[in-house]
Amino acid sequence: MKKNLFFALLSALVLVACQKQEAKYEIQATIADTGKPAKAFLVFQNDSGENVIDSVLIEKGSFRFSGAYEAPFSATIAIDYDGNQPFSRQLEDRLNLFVEQGKITLTSPDSIKNAEISGSPLNALSQEYDSLVADFQTQKSELQNEFRSASEEDRKSEAFQQQLNERWEAIEGKEKAVAYDFLLAHKESFISLAKALPVYLGYDPQVETFDSVYSLLSPEVRNTILGRTYAKRIETLKATQVGKIAPDFTQNDTVGTAVSLSDFRGKYVLLDFWASWCGPCRHENPFVVSAFEKYKDKNFTILGVSLDESKEDWLKAIHDDKLAWTQVSDLKGWKNDASTLYGVRGIPANFLLDPDGKIIDKNLRGDKLVEALEKYLQ
């Protein structure tokens, strides 16, 4: 009896092991044989947003990647034809693809960027989506070229800019409609999350729209690495929308003294995210300086948060732009803890807080900043 039980348990363990082994992905690729050492990289992101990099040597034009599979994910394959370099974003021969369970075959007579993908329903659906929006991408490129080829006088003309913007928005409106219809038809596909959703939402979506459309996707899609990333972004947007108390944080100022956002309670505060290397930020700084000089004696101040990595560059920009208010940074660049806390995805970005620390406005540029301050500080 005990012997039979032992073998039953052993069989169950073997069965479980076999089932686990089945949950794998495999990428088999064949490209042109250059006749010299070369290396292939597979790059994707983990839950922390950090790059995971796998690499293999290419032998006679062939290489293979495989790994444990949990859910679909986006990845890039890049080729180093020298064969002895670490992964770099400068590698030009690259292919973006979606990885799913099972075997994916890549075949190209030359470079990996021209590879044909087979054996992958997910990538086939991705190509189907691309074909649906291809005309919109072409029309946008034509508009961009029209702006570049316009005379300096036309480019500065408000009428010219307005008609280009109106045409751009019309194209985007049609593209968003296609993206939304695709998402509704493919709620259980990772492609809806990775491609259709960001197109429909645009760069700066309203949190209510983001949340409602994201919720249309299946639980399996939402529980991917990218899905969980979007869920975190939604929560961040909810926590930093107008009407919410601004999340507190502490970073060091230019001389190493710890400064907290809550130190400024009792005043109107412009929380300003910028960096020395950001051209639009430096262009915006004179407007911010002017607003500070005009309202600094009216219970208003600014807390600058820099997304710099170089302290020297940061300090030089503060001096050159004559930024006379408190400046802080953790010198982590785009990984700045405060910018992550506030969901900042592009700079310049700012949040206007009232004396109670409540967010009352955001992303105020140029004249809009002065108009808002006149409204609240009259």
Compute the distance between CA of residue 262 and CA of residue 260 in angstroms, rounded to an integer: 5
**Cis check: omega of the bond before 348, within 30 degrees of 0:** yes
Which of 99, 119, 139 corresponds to the end of one domain?
119
At 123 the pLDDT is: 98
For residue 6, being part of any structural domain is answered with no
Whether 141 and 199 map to the same domain: the answer is yes
Whether 296 and 337 map to the same domain: the answer is yes
Q: Please, what are the averages of pLDDT over each run of 10 residues along the chain (378 residues)?
A: 49 49 89 91 91 94 95 96 83 96 97 96 98 96 92 87 93 97 98 97 90 98 96 95 97 97 97 97 96 95 98 97 98 96 95 98 93 91
Compute the distance between CA of residue 236 and CA of residue 231 in angstroms, rounded to an integer: 9
Whether 57 and 161 map to the same domain: the answer is no
Whether 194 and 135 map to the same domain: the answer is yes
* Domain containing residue 62: CATH number: 2.60.40.10
For residue 346, being part of any structural domain is answered with yes
For residue 5, being part of any structural domain is answered with no
Which of 202, 200, 196 minimizes the C-alpha distance to 183?
A: 196
At 104 the pLDDT is: 98
* Domain containing residue 290: CATH number: 3.40.30.10
Do strands 24-30 and 102-107 pair parallel, antiparallel, or not at all (unpaired)?
Answer: parallel
Both tokens assigned to 18: 């076999």
Q: What is the DSSP string of 77-107?
A: EEEETTSS----TT---EEEEEE-SEEEEEE
Q: Is residue 204 a contact partner of residue 319, using CB atoms and an 8 Å limit?
A: no
Compute the distance between CA of residue 271 and CA of residue 328 in angstroms, rounded to an integer: 11
User: Residue 354: which domain range?
Assistant: 250-377
Compute the distance between CA of residue 86 and CA of residue 2 in angstroms, rounded to an integer: 55
| Torsion on CA atoms 336, 337, 343, 349, rounded to nearest 10 | -50
At 11 the pLDDT is: 53
- Please indicate, yes or no, whether the overall pTM of this predicted structure exceeds 0.75: yes
What contacts 242, CB < 8 A, 6 or more positions away? 359, 360, 361, 362
Whether 254 and 235 map to the same domain: the answer is no
Whether 99 and 57 map to the same domain: the answer is yes
Per this entry, what is the length of the chain? 378
Which of 86, 119, 152 corresponds to the end of one domain?
119
Q: How many domains are there within the chain?
A: 3
Segments of the chain assigned E as strands: 24-30, 38-45, 51-58, 62-68, 73-80, 94-99, 102-107, 116-118, 250-252, 258-260, 268-274, 300-306, 326-328, 349-353, 359-362
Angle at 304 between CA 298 and CA 305, to 5 degrees: 155
